[in-house]
Amino acid sequence: MRGMTETTPKALGSAPPVAAKKPHTFTHHGVTIADPYHWLRDPGYPEVKDAEVLAHLEAENAWFEARMQPLQPAVETLLAEMRGRIKEADKSVPQKDGDWLYWIEYEEGAEYKKWWRRPVAGGPDELILDEVALAEGKEYFRLGALSVSSDGRLLAWAVDDNGSERFTARIKVIATGEVLPDVIPGTLSALVWAAGDKALVYSLANAQWRTDNARLHWLGTPVEDDVELYHEDDEGFRVSAGLSANDEWLVISTGDHETSEVRLVPAADPLAAPLLVKARQTGVEYDVDVRGETLFIHTNDSHENFRLATAPLADPAAWTTLIEGTDDFYLTGFDLFRDFYVVEGRVRGLDRIEVRYYDDPARIEPIAFPEASYEASLGDNPEWAMDTLRVSYESMTSPASVYDYHVGERRLELLKTQEIPSGYDASLYETARLEVTARDGTAVPVSVVWRKGREAGGPLYLYGYGAYGIAIGPGFSTTRLSLVDRGFAYAIAHIRGGDDLGRRWYKAGKLEQRTNTFNDFVDVAKGLIAEGFTAAGRIAIAGGSAGGELMGAVINSDPELWGAVAAHVPFVDVLSTMLDADLPLTPGEWPEWGNPIEDKAAFELIRSYSPYDQVRAQAYPPMLVTAGLNDPRVTYWEPAKWVAKLRELKTDTNELLLKTNMGAGHGGKSGRFEGLRETAEEFAFILAQIGVPT
């Protein structure tokens, strides 16, 4: 075992759990595949009650606890460090919304936050929601939607208390605390006030955990009488609802990963006939907002990096370009305000925020930021008539900051910088944005941070995701300091599959080009070795969900590079999952991965990289794998099957641990400190395997 003390747990013996092998095969496109660990999927899922399945997961958890026991002092040390960097009694900068100022607060030692407000005109603070009280006695707690009625009188909120991401919505009178009898179980959506605060619009998760509907609940009526405003028949599409920026329109959207369609309904009259903006066209995505009699449409119909168009409400499908799509500026979104609008995007991978004006299209005012590499975005800006914008900012070396941007003066005003009680000196650290040439000649960006004076060739932590067009920005993290201060460089590989460099970058890592994502990650690691940042075998890698798929692919292809691997809720049984149309996410995922049921080429491609299917008899690096029993996104049996197969076939004696959260879902433990413990466990594991003292 690399760097980990040998132990012999009395109850377990000296060997990890071995999953039984049971005959099971499936055949597609004339190919028959054996899957002897298929039995780990409880046929009663989403309920998991099979005694043999539970016994195996509990045995893996016991093995995890036993093997990690020698590292508990390291875990506690790391946890204390991480907790010491959190200002435990903290609150957000208040933001005005109507007659009230709203903010959130954490109390000393609290896992969860409290939501507060006070009148703008003056008056006492008012507690509107107490997560601490709601979470009391629960193993898991997650607040979903939260929405205050437009008159400020009522609060609607939704809670998931087991990690299944099926939320129960409730409503209360803020002034008195009276919880109304209205209870809406099974929601998976925002909660949108409509009809003069007499009704809520929401979406239910169906039996397959898909939101194929938008529903209207009249306050005080039985939930069984709720009206379905819209139903989506395409099983791959998901429905959502929100309000236009001026609060006049209910915006009902439906779509998958490549196609969308929007309908508008007067918010004051949600039962009115909906106005279809433009019928769906495969491959065309769009979202809309409304100002007066004009629609604003953000769409990729003429350029993959999106354009911004307008159309009259009277003729919503007649789109006229306002901002052209270009190769240079990736237009990711827009926000309308009464006197101006804001567009957000990226130029060469760096965030850009521009204020623009309705009456002067040539007037473009980008917000200037002080560093060469950073993350910046609009914060919470709830009002229609605003002259000051709330903006968030951070970088690899700069803690998160909150600014007000005074539009008329083009001036940033710093309101708050993340406080690190145990101390932080940015001058002790260096950061760089590098480019590594991948095997096909593509330049792949990498963001790296390290402590000054670090020795060349030292250990490296390399993070990657690379899917769904999700960019991983060069942001700040207090937890990573526990590695960086011990000589690690911390790197983020901005690999294809994310949209870090625009929509083309995303497309170059999906469907038939999926393997670019894995190759980029490996090539980034090799490039950092060549640059002297690290050495083979001294690289710890981590990723979760689709990033866990990345981990599985690169340990199959290049196991000798990695000194330790953390794969969190990893999407590793890709072929079986994409062949199962009854699973919650599968139909909506086909535009991302391909449909192996109908397409033989997609079947063969997915099979060629699916980590579970490609496990082979070879040496693998030390690995820590996590799962959530109630996870609807990556079902628990994917990591369980993967670990079982790795135990069977791997030829090394390196550590392989599986930890399944038996009362949580995709995000792991809830609560700000419980989540820190899991990070501390990961880092303790990595330090031990790489051979770096705690």
Calculated CA dihedral for residues 169, 175, 178, 184, nearest 10 degrees? -10
Per-residue tokens: 83: 């907790």
Contact 651, 67 (CB under 8 A): no
Distance CA(51)–CA(54), nearest Å, equals 5
584 to each of 253, 547, 588, 665, how far by Cα in Å?
19, 19, 9, 14
**Residue 352 Cα distances to 306, 342, 368, 391, angstroms:** 15, 10, 9, 12
Q: Are 431 and 512 in contact (CB under 8 A)?
A: no
C-alpha distances (whole Å) from 405 to each of 106, 283, 314, 360 are 26, 36, 35, 20
Beta bridge partner(s), residue 491: 448, 462
Answer for the pair 559, 480: CB distance below 8 angstroms, yes or no: no
**Of 143, 150, 148, nearest to 168 (Cα)?**
143
Cβ neighbours of 644 (radius 10 Å): 24
Task: Specify whether 631 is catalytic.
Answer: yes
Name residue, tokens 């031990």. Answer: 688
Q: List Cβ neighbours of 220 (8 Å cut-off, separation of 6 or more).
A: 180, 181, 182
Residue 458 gets the label, from left (phi > 0), alpha (psi -120 to 50) or beta, of: beta
DSSP 378: E
Instruction: Specify the 3-state DSSP secondary structure of 201.
Output: strand
Q: Is 24 a catalytic residue?
A: no
Please state whether 98 falls in left (phi above 0), alpha (psi between -120 and 50) or beta: left
DSSP SS3 for 100: strand
DSSP helix/strand/coil, 437: strand
Show Cβ contacts of residue 137 under 8 Å, excluding neighbours closer than 6 positions: none
Q: How many residues does the chain have?
A: 694
Strands (E), 188-284: 192-194, 199-202, 213-218, 227-231, 238-243, 249-255, 260-266, 275-276
Pairing, β 238-243 against β 227-231: unpaired
Determine which one of 298, 482, 631, 670 is catalytic.
631
Please say whether the beta carbons of 537 and 562 come within 8 A.
Answer: yes
Active-site option among 147, 545, 610, 670: 545
Distances (CA, A) of 78 to 84, 111, 250, 460, 565: 10, 18, 47, 18, 18
What values do phi and psi take at 196, rounded to 5?
Answer: 60, 40
Q: What is the DSSP string of 525-590?
A: HHHHHHTTS--TT-EEEEEETHHHHHHHHHHHH-GGGEEEEEEES----HHHHHT-TTSSSHHHHH
- The pair of three-digit structure tokens given for residue 401, joined into one six-digit string: 């900051």
Measured CA to CA, the distance from residue 661 to residue 639 in angstroms comes to 12
Q: Give the Cβ contact number of residue 173 at 10 Å.
A: 12
Is 182 one of the catalytic residues?
Answer: no
CB count within 10 Å of CB 178 equals 10
Adjacency order of strands within the sheet including 260-266: 238-243, 249-255, 260-266, 275-276
Which residue in 182, 260, 666, 670 is the catalytic one? Answer: 666
For β-strands 539-544 and 460-463, DSSP reports them as parallel
Catalytic residues: 545, 631, 666
